[in-house]
Structure 1
């Protein structure tokens, strides 16, 4: 009986520790996403370059491309992510991968025109020895802002 209770206690402690790690990882990824939006708004490619994995992909309404083109688009102002109003965020951690979904309203300047669009954004982060790296950023336009 004592062994069973001890085993149950150990299992509960391991489960709690595991839950706390996921909560910490989720908070890290949410904070990193928040910083990323600010760096994109500021056109801070010095911060974004090490965040974006070399094999990262970016999916926009007008096409998809890799890290180099995304950095160049931000740097040149081809797309200026002026302000992302984040309405909802959720994170799922699967091993060393975090999938962050957010519902946003994005104010941007695209081709010299200021536009506002409602999106669901999917961000995929991969954890390595240097921390979290962005592997994918995809925008899905919502048909109406209230969706």
Structure 2
């Protein structure tokens, strides 16, 4: 295992409310090095060519890099990758703050989400466990109303 990586990703299927782990070989990390390379690789691997960006078959991938949750200044980043509904092409975005460390502490280098739940849900992801929670009590609220 390469230092800084967990060597596994998590697949979430919202249609079925299931999850599965996938081991990632060191050779992939050596070739792609970092969260951006891994996220791009996983998007291409998990999204069919020509998929409608608004389709439940369009994956959204959240990835962290090997320096996430370390003391390296500025390294705490979480990246998201998907097919853009605006351009129909590759889309990536990044966030800082306090979301990257907990994402890395789940024990996965990336979380791949596909499908669409019939009812509102939110995910609780901890090392080795994924729980789908009913989110109907949060539906329709403003963001600040859901923070408690």
Interval containing the TM-score (normalised by the shorter chain): under 0.3
Q: With the length of structure 1 as denominator, give the TM-score of the two structures.
A: 0.26
Q: With the length of structure 2 as denominator, give the TM-score of the two structures.
A: 0.26
Higher relative contact order (CA 8 A, sep 6+): 2
- Point out the structure with max Rg over C-alpha: 1
- Structure in which a larger fraction of residues adopt helix: 1
- Structure in which a larger fraction of residues adopt strand: 1
